[in-house]
C-alpha cells in the first residue's frame, strides 16, 4: 500500500465524534429531518438555486410547499446544471451511497426509496455509512418545539450529545438561574454561541462553565441577515479581530474554549492564539469553510502550527443523511493533508502511528474535551 492509501484507510476506520450538528435524536421527532426533500431544501442549496434562477424571487420560492421547492432545486441545480458545488455534490454522494441515481431526471425514485425506510433503521444505516459514533446536537431551550420535548421528560439517545446553545437564551434578563436549570435538565457537553465579533460573554456564562467543568464554544465571524429575504440562507461572513479572544483565554485559564471561525482569513490567527493558550481548541471548518479545498488547506495549516492537537472538522449537518457526504468528503481532505505532512517526515510513519493520529483527530481529542 502507498502512504496515501494507508492514511486513507486509517482515517476511514477512525470513529468520529461530530462536535457540532443541528441534528436531533429520534426522541425529538418533529425536529429530526431526513430524506431527499429535506436534503434538497437545505439552506445552502436554496441560496444556490435563487442565484441560478434570478427570475424566481425568494418570496415566490418560500411560498411553495417543500416538495415543490425540492423539485425546483433538483431541476435547477441537478438537471439543468451539473452538481459541481460542494452542497450539490454532497446530495449526489448521499444518493449514490443509497444506490440511487444522482443524475435521475426527477425525484420519483428517490422519494419512493425514502418513503419505505423506517426511521430507526435509517439512523443506524446513516451512522454506519458515515462512520459517526457520536454527535453533538444544538439545543436551544427557547425553541418551543424543542422545549416541549425536554418538558415531557424525554432522554435523548446517548449517541446524541447535548450542547446548550446560548444565542437566544443569553438575552434572558436573569441568566444565571436559567443556565443552572438547563444545565441540570439537558446535561450538556458544552455551552455554545455564534457571534459576529468576539467580546467577553456575560459573567454568568463563564461562571457556569467553570462550576460545571464545561467548555464554552464560540463560533466567530457570522453576519446575520445580510440578505434577510433569504431567511436562514441569508447570513454572511466577516473577518474578525481575535485580540479579545486572547484576553478571554488569558484571563480565564480555568475555562476551556472551543473555537471556530467563519472567515478563511481568521484561520491563521486562530492557530496563533491556540499556540499561546492551551485552553483554546480550534475546531472544524465551519459553514462557508466546509469545502474540500479549504478543509485540506486549513488542516495542513493546523497540523503545521499545532501538530495533532485540534479537531479538524464538524459536519454542521441539519439533515441526518448529510452526515454521509459531509464526513466522506471531509475525510478525503483530512487524509490528503495528513499524507502530505507524513511525507515531510524523514522516516515514514508506522501503521500504529498513523492509526493513533487519525483516531485522535477524528474523535479522540473531541472525547477528551467533551468527556465520554
Considering the complex, state which of residue 18 and residue 316 has its C-beta at the smaller distance from Zn ion.
316
Give the x/- contact pattern for ligand RAT in 189-208, rule: CB under 6 A: -----x--------------
Write out the E strands in 113-156.
132-136
6 touches ligand RAT by CB under 6 A? no
Considering only residues 316, 321, 355, 357, which one is a binding residue for Zn ion as defined by CB under 5 A? 316
Considering the complex, state which of residue 136 and residue 335 has its C-beta at the smaller distance from Zn ion.
136
Applying CB under 6 A, the site for ligand RAT has a residue count of: 7
Considering only residues 232, 275, 307, 351, which one is a binding residue for ligand RAT as defined by CB under 6 A? 232
Considering only residues 122, 302, 318, 329, which one is a binding residue for ligand RAT as defined by CB under 6 A? 318
Dump the DSSP string for 214-258. --EEEEE-EETTSSGGGGGGG-EE-----HHHHHHHHH-TTS-EE
Considering the complex, state which of residue 14 and residue 230 has its C-beta at the smaller distance from ligand RAT.
230
Interface segment toward Zn ion; rule CB under 5 A; list 30-38, 104-112, 197-205, 314-322: 314-322
Question: Among 323, 318, 315, which Cα is nearest to 131's?
Answer: 323
HSE-CB at 222 with a 13 A cutoff on CA atoms is 17
| b/e 305-337 (16+ beta carbons within 10 angstroms → b) | bbebbbbbbbbbbbbbbbbbbbbbbbbbbbbbb
Tracing cell 436549570 back to the chain, one arrives at 181
Considering the complex, state which of residue 318 and residue 331 has its C-beta at the smaller distance from ligand RAT.
318
226 touches ligand RAT by CB under 6 A? no
Minimum distance from residue 317 beta carbon to ligand RAT (Å): 8
287 touches ligand RAT by CB under 6 A? yes
140 touches Zn ion by CB under 5 A? no
Considering only residues 86, 146, 178, 316, which one is a binding residue for ligand RAT as defined by CB under 6 A? 316
85 touches ligand RAT by CB under 6 A? no
Distance CA 359, CA 336 (A): 16
Rounded to a whole number, what is the largest CA-CA distance in the chain?
61
Considering the complex, state which of residue 316 and residue 357 has its C-beta at the smaller distance from Zn ion.
316
Nearest residue by C-beta to Zn ion? 316
203: which residues sit within 8 A by CB, 6+ positions away?
Answer: none
Question: Among 201, 233, 241, which Cα is nearest to 217's?
Answer: 201
Rg of the chain, C-alpha, whole Å:
21
Minimum distance from residue 298 beta carbon to Zn ion (Å): 17
153: which residues sit within 8 A by CB, 6+ positions away?
Answer: none
122 touches ligand RAT by CB under 6 A? no
Considering the complex, state which of residue 205 and residue 338 has its C-beta at the smaller distance from ligand RAT.
205
Distance CA 361, CA 290 (A): 17
Considering the complex, state which of residue 21 and residue 130 has its C-beta at the smaller distance from Zn ion.
21
CB-based contact 166:31 (threshold 8 Å): no
357 touches Zn ion by CB under 5 A? no
Dihedral, 186, 192, 194, 195 alpha carbons, nearest 10: 130
Interface segment toward Zn ion; rule CB under 5 A; list 62-70, 262-270, 271-279, 312-320: 312-320
> Which residues contact ligand RAT (rule: CB under 6 A)?
22, 194, 219, 232, 287, 316, 318
> Which residues contact Zn ion (rule: CB under 5 A)?
316
Amino acid at each position: 500500500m502507498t502512504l496515501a492509501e494507508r492514511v486513507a484507510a486509517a482515517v476511514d476506520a477512525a470513529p468520529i465524534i461530530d462536535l457540532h450538528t443541528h441534528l436531533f435524536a429520534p426522541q425529538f421527532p418533529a425536529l429530526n429531518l431526513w430524506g431527499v426533500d429535506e436534503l434538497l431544501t437545505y439552506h445552502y442549496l436554496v441560496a444556490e438555486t435563487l442565484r441560478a434562477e434570478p427570475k424566481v424571487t425568494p418570496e415566490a420560492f418560500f411560498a411553495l410547499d417543500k416538495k415543490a421547492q425540492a423539485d425546483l432545486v433538483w431541476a435547477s441545480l441537478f438537471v439543468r446544471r451539473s452538481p459541481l458545488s460542494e452542497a450539490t455534490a454532497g446530495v449526489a454522494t448521499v444518493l449514490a451511497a443509497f444506490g440511487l441515481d444522482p443524475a435521475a431526471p426527477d425525484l420519483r425514485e428517490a422519494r419512493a426509496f425514502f418513503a419505505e425506510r423506517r426511521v430507526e433503521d435509517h439512523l443506524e444505516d446513516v451512522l454506519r455509512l458515515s462512520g459517526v459514533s457520536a454527535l453533538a446536537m444544538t439545543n436551544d431551550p427557547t425553541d418551543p418545539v424543542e422545549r416541549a420535548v425536554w418538558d415531557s421528560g424525554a432522554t435523548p439517545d446517548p449517541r446524541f450529545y447535548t450542547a446548550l446553545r446560548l444565542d437566544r437564551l443569553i438575552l434572558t434578563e436573569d441568566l444565571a438561574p436559567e443556565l443552572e436549570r438547563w444545565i441540570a435538565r439537558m446535561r450538556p457537553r458544552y455551552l455554545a454561541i455564534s457571534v459576529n465579533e468576539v467580546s467577553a460573554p456575560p459573567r454568568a456564562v463563564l461562571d457556569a462553565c467553570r462550576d460545571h467543568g464545561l467548555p464554552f464554544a464560540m463560533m466567530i465571524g457570522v453576519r446575520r441577515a445580510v440578505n434577510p429575504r433569504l431567511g436562514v440562507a441569508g447570513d454572511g461572513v466577516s473577518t474578525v479581530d481575535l485580540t479579545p479572544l486572547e484576553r478571554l483565554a488569558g484571563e480565564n485559564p480555568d475555562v476551556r474554549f472551543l473555537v471556530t471561525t467563519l472567515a478563511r482569513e481568521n484561520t491563521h490567527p486562530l492557530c496563533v492564539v491556540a499556540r499561546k493558550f492551551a485552553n483554546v481548541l480550534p475546531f472544524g471548518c465551519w459553514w462557508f469553510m466546509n469545502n474540500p479545498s479549504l478543509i485540506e488547506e486549513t488542516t495542513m495549516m493546523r497540523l503545521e502550527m499545532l501538530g495533532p492537537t485540534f479537531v479538524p472538522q464538524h459536519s454542521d449537518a441539519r439533515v441526518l443523511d448529510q452526515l454521509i457526504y459531509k464526513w466522506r468528503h471531509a475525510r478525503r481532505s483530512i487524509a490528503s493533508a495528513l499524507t502530505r505532512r507524513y511525507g515531510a517526515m524523514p522516516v515514514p510513519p508506522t501503521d500504529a502511528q498513523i492509526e493513533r493520529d487519525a483516531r485522535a483527530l477524528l474523535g479522540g481529542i473531541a472525547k477528551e474535551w467533551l468527556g465520554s
